Amino acid sequence: MHYTPITSFRRAVSAAHLKPVDPGPTPLPVEAVNKWEVLRELGAARVAFGLSDRDLTVLQALLSFHPGADLAAEAEALVVHPSNRSICERLNGMPCSTMRRHLGHLVAAGLLRRKDSPNGKRYARRYGDEKIAFGFDLTPLVQRFAEICAEAEAARAAAEAHRRLRESVSLMRRDLVGLVTYGAEIRPDLSLWDRLSDLATLTGRDLRRKLSLEDLGDLAAVLETALRDARDVLDPPVTEDLSSNDIQNEQHYQNSNTDPHDLELRLEKRKAEVECARMSDDPQSGTGETDTELTEPPSCNLPLGLVLASCPEIQSYAPDRIRHWHEFVRIAETLRPMMGISPSAWHAARDSMGPEQAAVVLAAMLERASEIRSPGGYLRSLTMKAAAGQFSCGPMIMSLTRKAAA
The pLDDT score that the predictor gives to residue 277 is 41
Asked if pLDDT for residue 42 goes beyond 60, the answer is yes
Per-residue pLDDT tens for 288-324?
A: 333 333 344 556 777 888 888 888 899 888 888 888 8
CB 268 within 8 A of CB 324: yes
Selection from 234, 114, 253 nearest residue 178 by Cα: 234
Instruction: Give the three-state DSSP class for 30.
Output: coil
Confidence of residue 121 (pLDDT cuts 50, 70, 90): confident
CB 106 within 8 A of CB 51: yes
Per-residue pLDDT tens for 171-182?
A: 889 888 888 888
CA 140 to chain centre: 31
* Lowest-confidence region among 34-48, 163-177, 200-214, 265-279: 265-279
CA 374 to chain centre: 29
Side chain identity at 34, as an amino acid letter?
N
Asked if pLDDT for residue 131 goes beyond 70, the answer is no
Selection from 216, 110, 109 nearest residue 159 by Cα: 216
Q: DSSP labels for 106-145?
A: HHHTTS-EEE--TTS--EEEEETTEEEEEEEE-HHHHHTH
**Which has the higher per-residue pLDDT, 30 or 300?**
300
353-384: burial string, b at 16+ Cβ within 10 Å, e else: bbbbbbbbbbbbbbbbeeebeebbebbbebbe
d(CA 267, CA 263): 6
pTM over cut 0.85: no
Instruction: Give the three-state DSSP class for 101.
Output: helix
The pLDDT score that the predictor gives to residue 33 is 85
